[in-house]
């Protein structure tokens, strides 16, 4: 079972694998651990990663990148329309209104579901969508051996992640084996690409004045300028002196050049650096911490390498920044650790993780009073997650709950909708009263909100039976005036807000006034008509119809999965076709080169001219008619070439390997002949051999020598351009045949001779005990062993 963590970045991706030795960030086919988040679409196949990035300039309209911010958004979303201006390729509106294709902590429900759907299409079993800063915190804390015990004050650490497109800050509290995210803030529109854009705008204006060219009108030139500005930005992070910018054949066959230093860059991006501090200030306020409460500040993300960004962070916290984490790979490593914790295939030390909800979530429903509405904030901002709550409603008919975010003012262009959930099959009770409906809502491990279940509670009174436990105290609203209802709605909001700062449990139960059930009644509740009934309770599950915002339908998702499978198969077939084509091209170039060198002596001039012409015709065919042919055509073409080339290659290989094979066979013949000669000279080592068998060996060796001499003489008469008389395989087979026939005879071991001690032992066995020994003493006590065995067997049977 493979357990991986994937850091899905705006610019690049990293994949970490959990193995028995720890976490390892794996390399791609280019031996690079950083894989560009880029896809290039061709007429027949797709290129992904490094191969796709190399086509950004050459295949502008069909190379897709920068699509992370398009997850879960409609085509008309202001963010999508803003991104369209930056992208060199076109976005098409799909039938369902979607714009297309580790996650940031600020991702909404729709964006998270979109990533889950993408993982499903890719064939991945996603164990958890993890917030980026939480993954970094896990990678930081799980290896720490000096964390305070659970009963002591936690260690507070700030994690700052500024990547290519977004800026996130989290404060986490660590105890031994425990991680709790206290608060998180973000600026989704501040990252490395904003600094790149500032440089691009600056040089576009300079080139417009200096070279009279408008770079932004040429998409290829603009992409090249973006690439060079990104390189220049990285160089300025390590060097404060003037650095050159040179691009050859940039536009209209012009070579352009310029320069910039770090001071100019910081002045140019001053408005961006100012935006670093507000999220830092906000996260400290939300966590109710002071600067002195922070133990360490850890930074990750490529943009945190910019000196001015580090300076802003240091200036705010008045502390040195720690760079112990791998700025690029920490997120992927944390995700892999989380997967290893969740997977049964790995044994990982216990480490609990408590994340949070980045936005407040509110439920709204219709009431029966003059078409009014009720609201309840079920999860406030920075509420622990995963978490679930049970809300009690008193209804006589099916009702709809609308879920939405209520504090998206932090993010420009918000879409607060999550979805609507209709609770069905709700009817009045037998006495006409409203039914008590319990609705369970939750934010799951992925950070996705849902109405998990709903049930109606039916009370069945039992007369004369006082042994049943009393029902919980309930609040009846049937006799309340509209003013009282309005007051109760106010209590909902206040109560919901207060609970967000109270001590949380994995699940809370509240009624729709926003107060917990099974709690002491408040002054307002005392004024309400309360009744306590004794009886049995029956709970019946209710169906829920969900309508989620921008949720992919199952049929559409299945079609995407099917299309992805077809594209994978098409990619495989296209790879096989290209491999077959490349094999033909490689054979042509390789064989032509060897014809002028090592194969030159093994082909006649006439055949050389003929084969050279065939190779040249094949090369021309590859770049003309054979440019785009089916796989089988290339396979047949290669076999046709090998018909001409293999005899030449065979003659060369036979010539190179024949001397060694002949030498090995000759040595074996000589060795056997020496043994036969020693046998004839009465050598005691071989005096046990059978004379008849030795004669057979001698005859076999004579025949082998005759065969070897005849083959060598015949071969010596041939030229190198002729096929050999005997092949190396025949010589090797003859050598093995000689070993199998002669070795068992000439290397037959001598029979063993009995020594005097063995004879004495044999005599003692025939004549009885020696040296006064008693025969009874040496006889084992079989009776005792037998009785013990019997007893033991009996005990086992009893057991």
* Structural domain range at position 709: 573-746
Structure tokens at 133: 């800063």
Residue 490 lies in a domain: no
> Count of CB atoms within 10 A of residue 88's CB?
17
CB 408 within 8 A of CB 414: yes
Residue 389, Ramachandran bin (φ over 0: left; ψ between -120 and 50: alpha; else beta): beta
322 contact partners, CB below 8 Å, separation of at least 6? 296, 297, 298, 299
446 and 329 together in one domain: no
Structure tokens at 677: 């000669």
Residue 212 lies in a domain: no
* Ranges in the chain, pLDDT < 50: 96-101, 464-505, 513-534, 767-799
State phi, psi for 712 to the nearest 5 degrees. Answer: -65, -40
Residue 785 lies in a domain: no
Helix, strand or coil, per DSSP, at residue 588: helix
Of 328, 353, 378, the position where a domain reaches its end is 353
Residue 103 lies in a domain: yes
291 and 409 together in one domain: no
Give the CATH number of the domain where residue 720 resides: 1.20.1270.10
Helix, strand or coil, per DSSP, at residue 418: strand
Of 746, 769, 794, the position where a domain reaches its end is 746
Residue 150 lies in a domain: yes
Q: What is the rounded CA–CA span in Å between residue 643 and residue 520?
A: 95
CB 718 within 8 A of CB 769: no
Helices 691-716, 728-746: inter-axial angle, 10-degree rounding? 160
Q: What is the rounded CA–CA span in Å between residue 680 and residue 678?
A: 5
Residue 169, Ramachandran bin (φ over 0: left; ψ between -120 and 50: alpha; else beta): beta
187 and 317 together in one domain: yes
Q: Is the dihedral angle over the CA atoms 495, 498, 503, 505 positive or is it negative? A: positive
279 and 386 together in one domain: no
Q: For residue 5, what are the β-bridge partners?
A: 16
Q: What is the rounded CA–CA span in Å between residue 294 and residue 287?
A: 11
CB 697 within 8 A of CB 746: yes
Q: What is the rounded CA–CA span in Å between residue 453 and residue 507?
A: 13
Query: 785-791: long-range contacts (C-beta < 8 A, 24 or more apart)?
Result: none
388 and 340 together in one domain: no
Give CA angle at 621 (619, 623), nearest 5°.
75
CB 455 within 8 A of CB 436: no
704 contact partners, CB below 8 Å, separation of at least 6? 665, 669, 734, 738
State phi, psi for 231 to the nearest 5 degrees. Answer: -65, -40
DSSP string, 690-718: -HHHHHHHHHHHHHHHHHHHHHHHHHHTS
How would you class 478 by CB atoms within 10 Å of its CB: exposed for 0-12, middle for 13-18, buried for 19 or more? exposed
300 and 393 together in one domain: no
On whether the pTM is more than 0.85, the answer is no
Q: Where are the alpha helices (DSSP H) in 269-407?
A: 270-273, 277-286, 307-317, 330-342
pLDDT of 228: 95
Structure tokens at 178: 């425990």
Of 425, 444, 459, the position where a domain reaches its end is 459
Q: If we measure between CA atoms, which residue out of 380, 166, 157 comes closest to residue 284? A: 157
pLDDT of 526: 43
Give the CATH number of the domain where residue 22 resides: 3.30.420.40
Residue 591 lies in a domain: yes
Burial 509-520 (b: 16+ CB within 10 A, else e): bbbbbbbebeee
25 and 89 together in one domain: yes
Q: What is the rounded CA–CA span in Å between residue 173 and residue 1?
A: 32
Distance of alpha carbon 671 from the chain centroid: 62
Q: What is the rounded CA–CA span in Å between residue 348 and residue 340?
A: 7
DSSP string, 441-498: EEE-TTS-EEEEEEEEEEEEE-TT---SPBPPPEE--TT--HHHHHHHHHHHHHHHHH
CB 723 within 8 A of CB 651: yes
Give the CATH number of the domain where residue 419 resides: 2.60.34.10
DSSP string, 27-47: P-TTS-S-EESEEEE-SS-EE
Can you give 602-653 as a three-state secondary structure string? HCCHHHHHHHHHHHHHHHHHHCCHHHHCCHHHHHHHHHHHHHHHHHHHHHHH
> In degrees to the nearest 10, what's the CA dihedral of 368, 369, 370, 371?
-40
pLDDT of 71: 81
Residue 779 lies in a domain: no
> In degrees to the nearest 10, what's the CA dihedral of 510, 514, 517, 522?
170
pLDDT digits (tens, 9 = 90+) for 509-528: 665 544 444 433 444 444 33
322 and 448 together in one domain: no
CB 162 within 8 A of CB 11: no
Domains held by the chain: number = 3
Helix, strand or coil, per DSSP, at residue 130: coil
Q: What is the rounded CA–CA span in Å between residue 467 and residue 482?
A: 39
Helix, strand or coil, per DSSP, at residue 48: strand
- CA distances, 645 to each of 519, 586, 604, 724, 730 (Å): 91, 13, 13, 16, 22
pLDDT of 414: 61
183 and 321 together in one domain: yes
Q: For residue 17, what are the β-bridge partners?
A: 4, 24
157 and 41 together in one domain: yes
DSSP symbol at 788:
H
Q: What is the rounded CA–CA span in Å between residue 436 and residue 457?
A: 5
pLDDT of 471: 31
Residue 551 lies in a domain: no
319 and 369 together in one domain: no
DSSP string, 58-69: TTGGGEEE--GG
CB 328 within 8 A of CB 302: yes
326 and 414 together in one domain: no
pLDDT of 336: 92
Q: Which helix (H) or strand (E) holds 547?
A: strand 544-548
Q: For residue 451, what are the β-bridge partners?
A: 441
């Amino acid at each position: 079972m493979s357990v991986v963590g994937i850091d899905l970045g705006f610019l690049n991706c990293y994949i970490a694998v959990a193995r028995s030795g720890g976490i390892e960030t794996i390399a791609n086919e280019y031996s690079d651990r950083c894989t560009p988040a880029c896809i290039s679409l061709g007429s027949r196949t797709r290129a992904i990663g490094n191969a796709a990035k190399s086509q950004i300039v050459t295949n502008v309209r069909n190379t897709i990148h920068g699509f992370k911010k398009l997850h879960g958004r409609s085509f008309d979303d202001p963010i999508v329309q803003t991104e369209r201006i930056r992208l060199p390729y076109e976005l098409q509106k799909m039938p369902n209104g979607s714009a297309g294709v580790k996650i940031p902590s600020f991702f909404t429900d729709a964006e998270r579901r979109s990533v889950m759907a993408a993982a499903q299409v890719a064939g991945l079993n996603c164990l958890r969508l993890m917030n980026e800063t939480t993954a970094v915190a896990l990678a930081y804390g799980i290896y720490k051996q000096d964390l305070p015990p659970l009963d002591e004050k936690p260690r507070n650490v700030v994690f700052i992640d500024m990547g290519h497109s977004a800026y996130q800050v989290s404060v986490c509290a660590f105890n031994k084996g425990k991680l709790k995210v206290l608060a998180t803030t973000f600026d989704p529109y501040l990252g490395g690409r904003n600094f790149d854009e500032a440089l691009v705008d600056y040089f576009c204006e300079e080139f417009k004045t200096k070279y009279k060219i408008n770079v932004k009108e040429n998409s290829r030139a603009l992409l090249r300028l973006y690439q060079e500005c990104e390189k220049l930005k990285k160089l300025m992070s390590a060097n404060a002196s003037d650095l050159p910018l040179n691009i050859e054949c940039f536009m209209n066959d012009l070579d352009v050049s310029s320069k910039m230093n770090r001071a100019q860059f910081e002045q140019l991006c001053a408005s961006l650096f100012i935006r670093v501090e507000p999220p830092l200030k906000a996260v400290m306020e939300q966590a109710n911490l002071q600067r002195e409460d922070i133990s360490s500040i850890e930074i990750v993300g490529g943009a945190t390498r910019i000196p001015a960004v580090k300076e802003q962070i240091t200036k705010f916290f008045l502390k040195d920044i720690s760079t112990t984490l791998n700025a690029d790979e920490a997120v992927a490593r944390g995700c892999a650790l989380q997967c290893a914790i969740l997977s049964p295939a790995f044994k990982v030390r216990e480490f609990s993780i408590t994340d949070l909800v980045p936005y407040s979530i509110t439920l709204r429903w219709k009431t029966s009073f003059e078409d009014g509405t009720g609201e309840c904030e079920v999860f406030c901002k920075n509420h622990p997650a995963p978490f679930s709550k049970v809300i009690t409603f008193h209804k006589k008919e099916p009702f709809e709950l609308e879920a939405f975010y209520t504090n998206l003012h932090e993010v420009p262009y918000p879409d607060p909708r999550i979805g609507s959930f209709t609770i069905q099959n709700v009817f009045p009770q037998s006495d006409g009263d409203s039914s008590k409906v319990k609705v369970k809502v939750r934010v799951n491990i992925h950070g996705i909100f849902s109405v998990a279940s709903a049930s109606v509670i039916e009370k069945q009174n039992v007369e004369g039976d006082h042994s049943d436990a009393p029902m919980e105290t309930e609040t009846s609203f049937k006799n309340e005036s509209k003013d009282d209802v309005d007051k109760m709605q106010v209590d909902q909001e206040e109560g919901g807000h207060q609970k967000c700062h109270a001590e949380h449990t994995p699940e809370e139960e509240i009624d729709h006034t926003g107060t917990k059930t099974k709690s002491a009644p408040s002054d307002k509740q005392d004024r309400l008509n309360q009744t306590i009934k004794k009886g049995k309770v029956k709970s019946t599950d209710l169906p829920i119809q969900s309508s989620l915002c921008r949720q992919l339908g199952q049929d559409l998702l299945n079609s995407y999965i099917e299309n992805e499978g077809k594209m994978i198969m098409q990619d495989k077939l296209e790879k096989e076709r290209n491999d077959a084509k490349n094999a033909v091209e490689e054979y042509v170039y390789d064989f032509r080169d060897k014809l002028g060198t090592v194969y030159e002596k093994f082909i006649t001039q006439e055949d050389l001219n003929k084969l050279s012409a065939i190779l040249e015709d094949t090369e021309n065919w590859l770049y003309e008619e054979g440019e785009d042919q089916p796989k089988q055509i290339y396979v047949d073409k290669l076999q046709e070439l090998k018909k001409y080339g293999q005899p030449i290659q065979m003659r060369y290989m036979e010539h190179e390997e024949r001397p060694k094979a002949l030498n090995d066979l000759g040595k074996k013949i000589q060795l056997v002949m020496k043994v036969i000669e020693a046998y004839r000279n009465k050598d005691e080592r071989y005096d046990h051999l059978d004379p008849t068998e030795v004669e057979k060996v001698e005859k076999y060796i004579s025949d082998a020598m005759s065969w070897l001499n005849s083959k060598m003489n015949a071969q010596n008469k041939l030229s190198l351009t002729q096929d050999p008389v005997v092949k190396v395989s025949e010589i090797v087979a003859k050598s093995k045949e000689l070993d199998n026939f002669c070795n068992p005879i000439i290397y037959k071991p001598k029979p063993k001779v009995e020594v005097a001690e063995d004879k004495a032992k044999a005599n003692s066995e025939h004549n009885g005990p020696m040296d006064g020994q008693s025969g009874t003493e040496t006889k084992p006590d079989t009776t005792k062993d037998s009785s013990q065995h019997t007893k033991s067997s009996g005990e086992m049977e009893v057991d």
